[in-house]
Structures are given as structure tokens and as C-alpha cells.
Amino acid sequence: MTVRMRPVLSALPAYVPGRSVPGSIKLASNEIAYGPLPHVLDRITEAAAAANRYPDTNSSELLLALSEKFGVGVEHLVVGCGSVSLCQQLVQASAGHGDEVIFGWRSFEAYPIITAIGGAQAVQVPLREQVYDLPAMADAVTDRTRLIFVCNPNNPTGTAVSGVELIDFLDRVPSEVLVVLDEAYREFVTDEKVQDGTGLLERYPNIIVLRTFSKAYGLAGLRIGYGLAADPAVATAVRQTQVPFAVTHVAQAAALASLEPEAERQLSSRVDEVVAERARVTGALRAAGYHLPDSEANFVWLDEGPPAQGGVDAAAFGAGCEARGVIVRAFPGSGVRITIGATAENDAFLAAAADLREQL
């Protein structure tokens, strides 16, 4: 007799991480090229000595530090095992069978997975020119809508909606619908027109802003992120859906160290380097004849499409880069995402892209 599992699992898409190939340059997972800041490594080592003890399941010290950083009460804050874990917890807390979860598409590929696991129905609204189409998403809201994800900047396209567009959208969304502003790449935003979601918490009681230590802070392997909820009840609901002790003591110590003043100054310098490389890679790709949208994240996006119009065959381009020792993230039928790495890594990618372009 076969053990029975939930029917939804048979149709559940698997999350596909960026591949690592020995001997190749990996530009497929939006990891930053730099490790944790130097003194953060020291704190990680110190914290590891207490690995025989359970971590503080409430992340109390980190909550206090985040409270000071953002000027909000700890009751509005929640820490999770990466921001993707918080996304899943939010679906579990707000939506169930028969409910709807709206997000743009293509976007973070975990959204449809966690929606299906939660038993809700995903409503995917096509992007408009690789940007979240917020008016169309507002039109898609029904009395079954429980949660909306707005990935800003969007993964994998790197595009971002303006503050004006976001505010117009939030004004249209019913107050009982939870809006998740997923800002995992906020540190890399340079366009002043892109609204920092934390500045909207007082105006919209139905939003929660998600951030992570995985990207700019270089702690992807430790899995730690956080959310700022306008309504403390939302933060409480997220905590209720969290697996006990999900955030390790080492991760909490690393995040705390990453928020110290000296670390913040070092982080700013690191982000400036990534942004400068992003601009260089973007310019070089456009000069080579590729079409790509402006990115506000630590990666760039090449559209699927005819080569004469600057597009690529995503699968072929990904395979071609791999043959040249560079691993990028191909989304067949949609496009290719390329993480901004260190200068030498970006040079290797640009050489591969130029070679592939000549072949076309």
C-alpha cells in the first residue's frame, strides 16, 4: 500500500537554485561576491562555540537592534530563516483553501510554490515591459484575495516600480488584503523614484516590508531575514507560524554584528562597488547589442527574444556561457539573469557574452 500524500504535491513545481559547477564562475544565485564583513566573521566564530545551546527563538537582541535602526517598536518586527521563510509564513497565516494570492510574473519563483503548499490559488499577473504591472494587479483583486506580493526590485528582472505607482496601487487595494513588499535587494537601489517601503508603514496598515541579510550583507549561507509590519497583529501571526528555533544563534550573532555602525559604513562601500559594476556590465552588454532593462538589484536581465532586437535564446545563452566557464541563470522562454560578481568574474562573463553575440 502506498502512503497517501497531498494531491497538490504531484503538480508542485520544484524550486530550482542556481547551479554550481566546479571550476566555473557562478553568477547564478544573486550572491554577493564578498563574504561577511571581517568583524562579523569573528562574531560567527564566537557564536559557534555555543552551538550546543538552543538559540533565542524570539531573536530578542536582534529585534531590539532593528527597532533602533528603523525607529519602530519591536512588536512590529519579526525575524525569520531568510525572507523566503517569512514569505511562506505569511501565506500560511493569511491564505488557505479557496483563497487567492496575487503576484507579478515572472517574479521570485518561490511565490507559486509556497502559495500551492499553503493550499491557496496563485494569480499571476504578467509583467509589463519587465516591470510589475500594478494597475493590472489591482484589477485582479477579488473578494477571495488574501495576500499580494510586490517584489521590488523584482527578481529576476531587476526592475522596480516607482513610489508614485506603488502608492496609487496601495490606495486601490482593500485594507483587509495583506500586501507584502519584498525588498530583498533594497540596498542596491539607486533610483530616487523607488519608494523605500518602510516609509509607508504609518500610512498603510495592511503592509509588511521584508528585508534580508543574505544579499548585501553576505550572509546567504546563514539564512536570516526580517519583516517590518505596519500592524503588530501581522508580526504576531508570522511568529505563530514559525518553526521553533528556526533562526540559529550563529545567524543572529552575525546579523547583530552586521548592524553595528562600522559594519554599516563598510556595507555602503561594498554596495557602491556592486552598483558601479552593475553600471559597467549594463553598458558593455548594451554596447554589444543586447537589450536589457535598467536594474536596481545586484543582477541584470537579458530578455528572451530575436537577436536582431537584442534578445537571447535563454537556454542556448545559458549553455553557451557554461561552455565558457560562467554559470548564469537561464529561464527558458523568459530570459537570463546574471548576478553581478567581482570585477574579474564580470569580465569573464562579458567576454563570453561578446563571443556569443558574434556567433549570432
Of the chain, the percentage scoring pLDDT greater than 90 comes to 91
- State residue 73's pLDDT score: 98
Residue 121 lies in a domain: yes
Same domain, 118 and 221: yes
Same domain, 240 and 278: no
| pLDDT range class, residue 13, cuts 50, 70, 90 | confident
Per-residue pLDDT at 100 exceeds 70 = yes
One-letter amino acid for residue 316 of the chain: A
Same domain, 301 and 166: no
Residue 42 lies in a domain: no
Give per-residue pLDDT as tens, 115-130. 999 999 999 999 999 9
C-alpha closest to that of 81 among 64, 103, 60, 57: 57
Last residue of a domain, one of 203, 237, 259: 259
Residue 2 lies in a domain: no
CA-based torsion, 118, 120, 124, 130: positive or negative:
negative
- CATH code of residue 315: 3.90.1150.10
Give per-residue pLDDT as tens, 184-227. 999 999 999 999 999 999 999 999 999 999 999 999 999 999 99
Mean pLDDT of the chain, nearest integer: 96
Instruction: Spell 119-132 as b/e; 16+ CB within 10 A means b.
Output: ebbbbbbebeebbb
| pLDDT range class, residue 264, cuts 50, 70, 90 | confident
Same domain, 268 and 352: yes
- State residue 12's pLDDT score: 85
Residue 45 lies in a domain: no
Average pLDDT of span 328-336: 97
280, 184, 302, 122: CA torsion to nearest 10: -170
Last residue of a domain, one of 259, 287, 310: 259
* Structural domain span for residue 21: 7-30+263-359
Q: Distance between CA 360 and CA 351 in Å, rounded?
A: 15
Average pLDDT of span 85-94: 98
Per-residue pLDDT at 236 exceeds 80 = yes
CA-based torsion, 71, 72, 73, 74: positive or negative:
negative
Of the chain, the percentage scoring pLDDT greater than 70 comes to 100
Same domain, 216 and 250: yes
Same domain, 76 and 206: yes
Same domain, 353 and 230: no
Q: How far apart are the first and last CA of the chain?
A: 55
Per-residue pLDDT at 262 exceeds 90 = no
- State residue 1's pLDDT score: 59
